Structure 1
Amino acid sequence: MTHRPHVLVTNDDGIDAPGLLALAHTACEQGYDVTVAAPHQQASGSAGGLTMFLVDERIEVSHRRLPGLPGVEAYSVAAHPGMIALAAVLGRFGPVPDLVLCGINEGSNLGAAVLHSGTAGAAMVAGAHGVTALAASLHLDFELEEPPADGSARYWGTAADVVGAILPKILSADAGSVFNLNVPNLPTEETRPLVGAAWTLAGTAPTLLPFIADFDRRASALPVGNLSAPGIKIIDGSDIAEVRNGHPTLSLLQWRGDTAIDWIE
C-alpha cells in the first residue's frame, strides 16, 4: 500500500483565518492525509512560544468542521502555534506528521521578522524535532504601510497555488528541513516565477511596526529615550528583495551549528 503523507496544518492567525483554510484545501488536493490544529484566537508574534491559555487548569481543545473539508479532523486549541507544533510532532494529534504546514500568514515573514513570527516559529519547532516544515506567507507589506481606505484584496489562491506546486519537492527534502515561502499579494498571472532566495537576519519588514507601536502605546513608566522603529535593509538576492520584485520566494531557514568557539581553551 502506498503511504499517504500525513500533514499537519497550523498557523498563528487563528482557526478561522482564510489563509489556514486555503492551505488545508491545498494539502487535501494533493491527496495527503490532513489534520488541522490551530490557535483558538489570533497569536501573531508568538514565535515558537509554548504558551497555553488555561481555564480551570485545562486547555480547551475543541473539534471544528472546516468549510469544504468534511473529512478533515480539525481542532481549535487554546495555545500558541509553537505549542501546537510541538504537541503534533510528539503524536498528540494523531500520527506524527511527515510535514508541518504553517500559514498562509496574513503578512510577510522576512529577515529578522522571522524570529518573531508564530507561523515561522511553529515551522522551526517542527524542524527542530526532525519533521520537515514549510511556513507560507502572503506579502502585504505595502498594504500594511498604507492600507487602502476600502480594504485590500487578499490573493490566498495565489499563495496556495505556489504551495501546491512545490509540496512534492518539500516532502522529499531532508527530514527536519524548514522552508520559508513568501508570495506577493497579486493575482497568479501577475506574479513572476518562483525563486530560491537567501534568508538573512540583516533585514526586517513593516510587519513588525504595529507590534512596537502597540508596545509604545501600552507601556508605562518607561524612560524616554531615543526612540526608533525597525528598519529595512534590502540586500540584492535576499528574500526581501525578490518578493518586492514580484517573485514568490523560497528560503531555507537554518542556523550555523558547525562553528566552534575558538577562544575557549
Structure 2
Amino acid sequence: MRRRPHVLVTNDDGIDAPGLLALAHTACEQGYDVTVAAPHRQASGCAGGLTMFLVDERIEVSHRRLPGLPGVEAYAVAAHPGMIALAAVLGRFGPVPDLVLSGINEGSNLGAAVLHSGTASAAMVAGVHGVTALAASLHLDFEIEQPAAVGAARHWDTAAAVVDAILPNIMSADAGSVFNLNVPNLPGEQVRPLVAAPWTLAGTAPTLLPFIAAFDRHADALPVQDLPSPDITIVEGSDIAHVRGGHPTLSLLRWNGDTAIEWVDSVLT
C-alpha cells in the first residue's frame, strides 16, 4: 500500500493562530498525513532562530487538539519555528516530512521582510535540509498603512483556497525547493489571478514598521526622533508590486533542480 505524503504544518504566530488551523485543514483535505507543530506563543520576526524556551532545562512540548482535526497530531512547542522545522526534518515529530507548510501568516512576507520572518525561515530551514516547503502569508500591509482599517476581517479562506489550488504542484517540485506565497486579504471573488514574481531585496514591506516602532519606544538611550524607518520601495514586477495589485503572488526562495523553476515559470503562461 502506497504511503500517504507526510506534511508538517508550522508557523510563527503560535499554535492558536487561525491561519495555522486554515493551513492544516487544507493539507488534510488534500489527503495528506498531517502533523502540526508550532510555537506555544507568538514568535513573529524571529527569522531562523533556534531559540528554545527552557523550563528546568527542558523544552516544553505539549499535545493539543485542533478544532475540526480530531485525528491530527498537534504539538505546542516552546521553541522558535526554525528550531521546530529543524527538529521535524530530523524526524522528531514522526516521519521526516515530504513537505513543510508554514503559515498562514497574519501579515505579508515580502521583500527584505523575508529575511526576518519566522514563517519564511521555517520553510528555508526545511529546504536546506532537502524537504520541499511553502511559506504562506496573508497580505495586510494596507491595514498597517491605514490604522483605521486594523481589525478588519481576515480572509483566511481566500489564502487557504490559493494554497489548495497549488499544493499538488508544490508537492511535485524538486525536493528542497522553497516557495513563498502572499495572498491579498480580500474576499475570494475580488482576488485577481495568481502570478509568479521574483523575490527581491529591493525595499521592505510595511509589516516591518511596527517592529521598528517597538524598538524605538524601548530604546531609551537612543535619540529616537532622529531614527528613520526602513524604505518601502515598490519595484515594478516584484512580489510587493503584484500582491499590492490584488494578485496572489508566488516567489521562489530556493530551488533544487529544474522542476521548481519550470513550474514557477508555467504559472505565467
TM value normalised by structure 2: 0.92
Quote the residue 1:194 is aligned against: 194
The yes-or-no answer on 1:233 pairing with 2:197 is no
Change beyond 3 A, Cα 1:149–1:235: closer
- Displacement of 1:232 in angstroms is 1.1
- Displacement of 1:92 in angstroms is 0.3
Give the match's secondary structure for 2:254.
coil
Quote the residue 1:72 is aligned against: 72
Residue type of the alignment partner of 2:249: T
Give the match's secondary structure for 2:138.
strand
Residue type of the alignment partner of 2:173: A
Distance, in Å, in 1 between the alignment partners of 2:149 and 2:211 is 21
TM value normalised by structure 1: 0.94
- Displacement of 1:148 in angstroms is 2.8
Give the match's secondary structure for 1:96.
coil
The residue correspondences of 1:56-205 to structure 2 (distance < 5 A) are 56-148=56-148, 151-205=151-205
Distance, in Å, in 2 between the alignment partners of 1:124 and 1:118 is 10
Distance, in Å, in 2 between the alignment partners of 1:3 and 1:241 is 40
**What 5-or-longer segments of structure 2 have no aligned partner?**
256-269
Structure 1 outlier segments of 4+, above 6 Å: none
Higher helix share: 2
- Displacement of 1:233 in angstroms is 1.0
Quote the residue 1:43 is aligned against: 43
**What 5-or-longer segments of structure 1 have no aligned partner?**
256-265
**Aligned-CA RMSD value:** 1.3
Distance, in Å, in 2 between the alignment partners of 1:150 and 1:144 is 7
Q: 1:121-169 CA deviation, whole Å, 9 max, x = no partner? A: 1000000101000000000000122233672000000000000100000
Distance, in Å, in 2 between the alignment partners of 1:52 and 1:141 is 29
Give the match's secondary structure for 2:148.
coil
Q: 1:21-78 CA deviation, whole Å, 9 max, x = no partner? A: 0000000000000000000000000000000001111110000000000000000000
